[in-house]
Amino acid sequence: MNSPSGSILSCSWTATSLRGTYVRPSLHYTAAVSCLTAWHPPPRCPYPHITTPTYAPLDPLNSYPLRFVRLSEDEEDTRPTDPKFEPGQTGFADGFPFLLAATESVAYINTKLEEGGQGAITMDHFRPNVVVDGAGAWAEDAWVGRRIRIAAGTGAVAGSACEEFAVVKPCARCTMPNITPATGEFLPGSEPSKTMKAFRSGRALEMPRSKDAGQIFFGQNLVHCGREGGVLSVGDVVTVTDGARKE
């Protein structure tokens, strides 16, 4: 949904339903067909979709006509990532299916915010799905163009059970990190973007493309290069390899 209020919608699956902070639809699928545009290129139609959900009392999203949709499982309906970075597939994400960030990078931002008299933020503001700890602030910047392996322990890194990802490019950020996830409200003063512009803009990072100069970058986009059905868990070990993109 095109609204800051969407940040307060939190969902999780159970055996029979999709339960969220405000929305609790059943898992009954209808035969209706939906065409949906999400970024470019749009995913293909049709989409089986979940029946219209009911809303909890005083739901702040009640003014929006929400409907849950999912991508078809057919291979021809998958949405490809930009092949100039790394072949892969994604769904409703704007460009790539995974975003990696380091906890120390957020700590660095908070140091700068506090120096300017601003309040601290959390990793939730940036919405990554892979968070690493112990690598150091901005260590992930040096991983672009390389592969990482995520496994249950150092002894398993070289085994077949580990999951491999290509670190394809820095992620340019919109204004969503300026929204407090718990409330759906913008932080005052266009923070943290205003503070980050001094050290995380394309100009500050000396990126070669002129169109990146004014953009703000945080986190790295990933593409999964391993087997289907892999599982990542909190506490897994991340190893950076020398493996570059395989042509």
Cα–Cα distance measured from residue 20 to residue 52, given in angstroms and rounded to the nearest whole number:
14
d(CA 87, CA 68): 28
Please check whether residue 87 lies inside any domain of the structure. Answer: no
- The one-digit pLDDT tens for each residue of the chain (247 residues) are 556 666 666 666 666 655 555 544 555 555 555 556 665 555 554 444 444 444 444 455 555 566 666 666 666 667 788 888 888 888 777 789 999 999 999 999 999 999 999 999 999 999 999 999 999 999 999 999 999 999 886 444 444 457 899 999 999 999 999 999 888 889 999 999 999 999 999 999 999 999 999 999 999 999 998 777 788 888 899 999 876 544 3
Judgement on whether residues 62 and 112 belong to the same structural domain of the protein: no
Which residue in this structure is represented by tokens 């150091």?
136
Give the CATH number, domain containing residue 181: 2.40.33
pTM equals 0.79
Q: What is the pLDDT of residue 83?
A: 83
Q: How many domains does the chain have?
A: 2
> What are the two backbone dihedrals, phi and then psi, of residue 50, each rounded to the nearest 5 degrees?
-75, 145
Q: Are residues 236 and 169 in the same domain?
A: yes
Among 42, 74, 106, which residue terminates a domain?
A: 74
Burial of 17 (0-12, 13-18, 19+ CB in 10 A): middle
The domain in which residue 152 lies consists of 98-240
Q: What is the pLDDT of residue 162?
A: 76
Q: What pLDDT shows up at residue 53?
A: 46
The rounded distance, in Å, linking the Cα atoms of 205 and 215 is: 10
109 and 60 in one domain?
no
Distance of CA 225 to the CA centre of its chain: 17
> Which pLDDT belongs to residue 243?
61
53 in the same domain as 143: no
What pLDDT is attached to residue 87?
A: 83
Q: Of 58, 74, 90, which one is at a domain's C-terminal end?
A: 74
Query: Which stretches within 179-233 are classed as H helix?
Result: 193-200
For the beta sheet containing 216-224, the strands, ordered from the edge strand earlier in sequence to the opposite edge, are: 130-132, 98-102, 216-224, 163-173, 147-151, 237-240
How many whole angstroms separate alpha carbon 222 and alpha carbon 167?
5
* 106 and 204 fall within a common domain: yes
Structure tokens at 104: 């120390």
Residues 128, 64 share a domain = no
Query: What pLDDT score does 232 carry?
Result: 86
